[in-house]
Structure 1
Amino acid sequence: MPQTIRPREDTPAPVRPGVLRTSIRVEPLTCTIGAELFGVNLGDAARDDDLFSEIKNLLLQYKVLFLRNQDITRAEHVAFASRLGPLEDHPVVGSDPDHPGLVRIYKDLNSNPEHYENALHCDGTWRECPPMGAVLRCVETPEVGGDTIWVNMAEAYRRLPDHIKTQIAGLRARHSIEATFGAVMPMERRHQLKAQFKDPEHPVVRTHPETDEKILFVNAFTTHFVNYHTPENVRFGQDYAPGAGNLLAYLISQAAVPEYQVRWRWQKNSVAIWDNRSTQHYAVQDYWPAVRKMERAGIVGDRPF
């Protein structure tokens, strides 16, 4: 059944008349991840503490939230996202010159179809502190195609066999921008990128700082384990590569399980808000030669533990 959450009405807020008397209707989209919100405008939520608090709580619960008909300005987009935390630029894509932190992801015939969206990934794990989350608004979309998939990586961890959970409990892994975004760059530029982002290591299982959930934290940016080659795991030297590689491939493959996923069809002025700490996503590139234009505000995160 749809869940209805009514914002408090006892505190005045500088929002349009009647907004506090409008309920947020919540409709879960799958049994494990994602919900669509109705009856809320993110421009209002950027200015109202109670309304924002309700949305933040729903985000922690459903991990990705979807809204239609969000005809908001770029300034309102940035203002709402900034309530989740400071915004960050992207070192490859860049950001809107008038709205720092707002990244334009415009795909047309002049774009590179091999851009690193169409892989299951968690944004920016090549940073020491990967993003907390993001707010993505659709500016223009094809009539058909261009969907995005999100995955609940807390559920992916929860359903791992117990012996795998034991095996990976203390493992750590490297994440690389050089081996992904940098792969198509000239060597000098690729090395500069590596010098800026030095392949940080993160726990294979991270703990969510607000919900305490355990999360499987490997994705398309993960290159290898850094502490797998121990006497407990490796009998002889040749066990190192296949043993570690096979385990990492198995863990990364968990994001492809449909039972952990939600798929969203975009329309103009649709918005997705996701918790990057507990999800992965995949932008489906099946729409060429149509155009797809998105604008994303990414929020600075903390160091995984």
Structure 2
Amino acid sequence: MKNFVVERWSPALGAEVSGLDLDAALRGSDAQIDEVVDALYGALIEHQVLFLRDQPLSPEMHAELGRRLGELAPRHHSYTTLDGNDDVAVLTWEPGNRPDASEWHTDMTFRPKPPFASILKAIELPPVGGDTLWASMYSVYDSLDTGFRSDLEGMEICHDPGQFRNGAYERGGNQGITDMLSEAGSAVWPIVSHHPVTGRPYINVSESNSRWIMGTGAAESQRIVNYLLESINRPDHQVRLRWQPNTIAIWDNRASQHYAVADYPKYRRTMHRVAVDTDRRHEASLAASATATA
């Protein structure tokens, strides 16, 4: 069952997986399921985002795929979940609504522990448009001059919930923003972070959530952030997916960002998402190493 084909889509990141029926794979024995998910995980670490077409997973199997990768993330502070299944977030944008994902971002970096991976399934799509792009933060780091990389070492940047302020204000005014920020929180990350599995350096700055470089003034902070955001916008670092119903994207949330294109103002778009908090295989590897050295 693990003999599926992985075809790279761009030099920076992204690959399509074909020859795999996820629903059938997830109904096998534990050993068979582990074999398939282990192979998918290896492809995910290599390519950062995987695309799978024609995967009519039920919500239960969608969440089960997430559990096979690790512990599922707590419920998002702003999104609704599927009736009867709190592990599946429902991301719906109605005609005339402004999507909140039409900015470069890594999911929930304002949390002390952002999710390791996300699994997104297309449910209802506009007749054209509504694509999603991903960018490799490895590739962005590698493209920077060595001197600038050295300047960034040791710098830290604060992440917060960004434009989720809009919905909070609509619901509760000033107090709504205060309550949302208190619930969602904020977190400070190294601008040059390192992937826990590969060890590779990547840029941990996003359009949606990065607010302030610690220890700097507003002007200096903004200049550095703007330069990095301009780098992320270069197509050299990106891959683009045109969704179809039952297309699934799985991405490593640690060294990639994504952007949901908001070019369908007259149409409805609905996606189901499962967020995975814990990288079970990496944590198992750390535990085995600790035992071996004890």
| TM-score normalised over the length of structure 1 | 0.84
Q: CA contact under 8 A between 2:212 and 2:218: conserved in structure 1?
A: no
Q: 1:53 Cα deviation (Å)?
A: 0.5
Larger Rg: 1
Q: Which amino acid aligns with 2:209?
A: F
Write the mapping of 1:1-305 to structure 2, written as runs, cut at 5 A: 20=1, 23-46=3-26, 47=28, 48-88=33-73, 89-109=75-95, 112-113=97-98, 115-177=99-161, 179-184=162-167, 185=169, 186-219=173-206, 220-227=208-215, 229=216, 240-301=217-278
Q: Deviations over 1:53-75 (max 9, x none)?
A: 00000000000000100011110
SS of the residue aligned with 2:239? strand
SS of the residue aligned with 2:24? helix
Q: 1:298 Cα deviation (Å)?
A: 0.8
SS of the residue aligned with 1:211? coil
CA distance in 2, matches of 1:165, 1:121: 21
SS of the residue aligned with 1:272? strand
The percentage of counterpart residues that share the same residue type is 29
Q: CA contact under 8 A between 1:130 and 1:301: conserved in structure 2?
A: no
CA distance in 2, matches of 1:82, 1:44: 16
Distance 1:61 1:105, change over 3 A: same
Q: CA contact under 8 A between 1:157 and 1:214: conserved in structure 2?
A: yes
Q: Which amino acid aligns with 2:66?
A: A
Q: Which amino acid aligns with 1:28?
A: R
SS of the residue aligned with 1:163? helix
Q: Which amino acid aligns with 2:17?
A: L
Q: Which amino acid aligns with 2:107?
A: D
Which deviates the most, 198-207 or 73-82?
198-207
Q: Which amino acid aligns with 1:80?
A: L
Number of matched pairs: 268
Q: Which amino acid aligns with 2:157?
A: A
Q: 1:84 Cα deviation (Å)?
A: 1.5
Stretches of structure 2 that go unaligned for 5 or more consecutive residues are 280-294
Q: CA contact under 8 A between 2:34 and 2:68: conserved in structure 1?
A: no
Stretches of structure 1 that go unaligned for 5 or more consecutive residues are 1-19, 230-239
SS of the residue aligned with 1:164? helix
SS of the residue aligned with 1:135? strand
Calculate the aligned-residue CA RMSD, in Å.
1.5
CA distance in 2, matches of 1:194, 1:108: 25
Distance 1:112 1:267, change over 3 A: same
Q: 1:301 Cα deviation (Å)?
A: 4.8
Q: CA contact under 8 A between 1:43 and 1:80: conserved in structure 2?
A: no
